[in-house]
A and B are shown apart, each in its own frame.
Chain A
Amino acid sequence: MLKCNINGVDLEVPEGTKLIEAFLKAEQKIAHYCWHPGLSVAGVCRLCMCEIEGNPRLQIACNTEVQEGMVASNQSEKVKETVRWGMDFHLINHPLDCPICDQAGECGLQEQYMEYGQYTPSMAHAKVKKRKVVSLGSKVVLDSERCILCSRCVRFTDEVTKTHELGIFNRGDKSEIGTFHDKPLENKYAVNTVDICPVGALTSKEFRFKQRVWYLKDEKTVCPGCSTGCSVKVYHNQEGLFRVKPEYDAEVNEHWMCDEGRGVFDWVNRQNRQSYSVNAENMEKPSSSELKLILTAQQTVEEYESLFEYLKSSNKKVEVYYWKNNPDKFDDFDNLLIRGDKNPNTKGLLETAVKHDITLNPFSGFDGFESFEGDIWFILPENKAVYPLYEQYVEKALKLENNLTIFAVPKVKVDKTKKNISILPLKTYFEKDGHFLNFNGLKRQLKPGPLQVSSALALNEWVSFVKSDDFGDQVDLLSKRKSEGFRKKNEMTQTGGGL
């Protein structure tokens, strides 16, 4: 450990720490663009200036390692003046695009200008015009005028994905970001460049112009896209969910996430959901003493716990079937984040099943169910996109003559005159409490966000309904909810236009 003093704050940092990290650790403000904790040091933006005792020249904090007894500060007028001029140089050719720019509201340039801006521009010449709205592949759009050439995006493709698509071309004020031979930027992590771009030079095609960022709230949760279980932030408002960004998690995803995971918010939105229950009263009828249950590894550990406890305590003859979407690809891994097992909680399911002594039979369609007379519970996966046989199985299930209960997040089209089928809406990962165990058994907690569908319940809540004696009352309550808009108050109403 090395002792140092930053702006008068004494602290100890491990050897090899950069001065900028010491500044941030001491909770001192320091201007910076090109330095990113997940990437190598470039030292190109020249904003992280600081004064080191014994050194007559100002130094950049991102490329200076802390030495024993170092005394550094960035409070003097000299440093502030330098940063102000550095900032002004960045703005020489910057367009005044903020009203159109998607980054406005979370822009590094805007934020740091408020702090370190020159406010009286001294540039007398016309701005250099560069390419605007350049499509870099199917996910990212580039605006070269807004780029401040911090090279974060280039370093990301060089160091993290190692795909080397991006580069800086030309020299001087003609420098521009681009791809070699205009080959598209098509890797599975491309949208991370949008996150790390400190300005609005790189924007995401999916999110572009959908919302202004100040209309969005974020909620920290876990990505249910695969068994890696990246920590993410989901951005939402009263109109629904709009985007997903990674959240720093040292043990799992560090600063990054994959592009596929950014699309997994869509099924949470109300328009794609089963929003009411069908024939819920079926659940209280004295039903047969045999039960077949089909489940996937997309529920939380808490839900499996309560489900298995119920199955054990009821004196029914139960058979549990485990529906695996792509068993042959379960162990795939791309050496960065993406895993072939597209379920967030496979480990949790297997461990809970062992704990409750439940045998999981492989599920491979409804063949062999013809002679079966008892009840069937079918718990559908939330992320139906990764279940290639989803439509086929649901269609088959809806033809069954058994007393069938479907727990569903996505919409299920059912003939309401068929009294043997009941459909119960489920909550999604964004709305429920509980935790997932990721591929190596790390526990990742979900936080309940605002409910998108008022009648949805988590599986454990449904099970406690089924267990309780007054299920009939509860069903009444549910239908009341539907008709009277019960619980509307704490639900986000999706009327649209309420910006």
Chain B
Amino acid sequence: MSVEVKRKDQNQSWLLPSVLSGMSLTFGKMWGNLFNRKKMPTLNYPEEKYEYGPRFKGNHVLTVKKDGSLRCTACMLCATNCPADCITIIASEHDNEEVEKFPIHYEIDILRCVFCGFCEEACPVDAIRMGPEWQSPALNGGSFVYDIRHLAFRSELRGGIESRLDDAERHKAGI
């Protein structure tokens, strides 16, 4: 196969016009941003932060019931569905026979998570949601494995997010 080598455009051999057009763009934007800051498209992160929409799939939240206990029933459908294999659950018998099964251990390794949202979709009881938070700095690797305390009761959640589906209501409705 032969490759045709394109001859250089005559204009390109003139360096100065290209440099000047580049410079005019740069300085044009600079003056624009200096004197018309409202129109500036970038943010002064971290002082200013961008608010994503409520449907943004960020860090996970485990929802709670009305009484403040975890909504999760430890069915492991999220862990089964997770393509990154990053959810670990250990189930146990609950004292209340209406609840029957609950997780004594629920961990998400957020560094492995690909934020696909499959866990949220798999959950039959609205126990796991992906919230708007997306910044998760930490000081060491271990802090990226989120446990129940973090997922359901971190201070940003102000006491926990309530699940839409409550078993008590379901039982009352006779379903």
Contact = CB atoms under 8 A, between A and B. Distances in A.
**Genuine A/B complex:** yes
Interface stretch (B13-21, B27-35, B86-94): B86-94
Contact of A212 (B76, B97, B98, B125): B76
A209 B80 contact: no
B175 A99 contact: no
Among all A-B residue pairs, the 5 with the closest Cβ atoms:
A126-B174, A99-B75, A133-B97, A209-B91, A497-B88
Nearest to A95: B175
A443 interface: no
A99 B122 CA distance: 11
A467 interface: no
Given A132-B97, A133-B97, A99 B77 contact: yes
Interface in A151-186: none
Given A99-B124, A100-B100, A208-B93, A499 B174 contact: no
Given A99-B124, A214-B80, A209 B101 contact: yes
A215 B79 CA distance: 11
A129 interface: yes
B73 A129 contact: no
Given A100-B73, A127-B174, A132 B100 contact: yes
Chain A contact surface mostly? loop
Contacts of B139: none
Given A100-B100, A208-B93, A209-B101, A499 B85 contact: yes
B175 A127 contact: yes
B102 to A, nearest CB: 9
Contacts of B75: 98-100, 104, 212
Contacts of B125: 99
B142 to A, nearest CB: 14
10 contacts: A98-B75, A99-B77, A127-B174, A208-B93, A209-B93, A212-B76, A214-B80, A497-B88, A499-B87, A499-B88
A133 B100 contact: yes
Interface of B: 73-77, 79-80, 85, 87-89, 91-93, 97-98, 100-101, 107, 124-125, 171, 173-175
B163 to A, nearest CB: 13
A209 B174 contact: no
A127 to B, nearest CB: 5
A114 interface: no
A489 interface: no
Given A104-B75, A132-B100, A133-B100, 4 more contacts: A209-B92, A212-B76, A498-B85, A499-B79
A125 interface: yes
Contacts of B100: 100, 132-133
A498 B171 CA distance: 35
Contacts of A215: 76, 80
A125 B174 CA distance: 8
Nearest to A99: B75
Chain A interface category by residue count: 10 to 19
A96 B175 contact: yes
Contacts of A499: 76, 79-80, 85, 87-89
A132 B92 CA distance: 16
A129 B171 CA distance: 9
A319 to B, nearest CB: 51
A113 to B, nearest CB: 16
A215 B101 CA distance: 18
Interface in A106-131: 125-127, 129
Contacts of B107: 497
Most buried by B among A96, A212, A215: A212
A133 B94 CA distance: 10
Interface string A125-143: 1110100110000000000
Quick one: which of B85, B101, B124 has the most chain A CB within 10 A? B101
Interface string A77-104: 0000000000000000000101110001
A229 B89 CA distance: 36
Contacts of A133: 97, 100
A92 B104 CA distance: 33
B76 to A, nearest CB: 5
A126 B173 contact: yes
A96 B170 CA distance: 10
A195 B100 CA distance: 21
A379 B174 CA distance: 61
In this complex, the member of A96, A104, A497 whose beta carbon has the largest number of chain B beta carbons within 10 angstroms is: A497
A145 to B, nearest CB: 11
A132 B97 CA distance: 6
A499 B81 CA distance: 11
B88 to A, nearest CB: 4
Contacts of B91: 209
Residue from A98, A125, A209, A215 with most neighbouring chain B CB atoms (10 Å): A209
A133 B175 CA distance: 19
Contacts of B80: 212, 214-215, 499
A208 B66 CA distance: 27
Interface string A461-499: 000000000000000000000000000000000000111
Nearest to A127: B174
Contacts of B124: 98-99
A96 B98 CA distance: 12
A24 to B, nearest CB: 31
A253 B3 CA distance: 76
A132 B77 CA distance: 23
A199 B98 CA distance: 19
B56 to A, nearest CB: 27
A192 to B, nearest CB: 22
A126 to B, nearest CB: 2
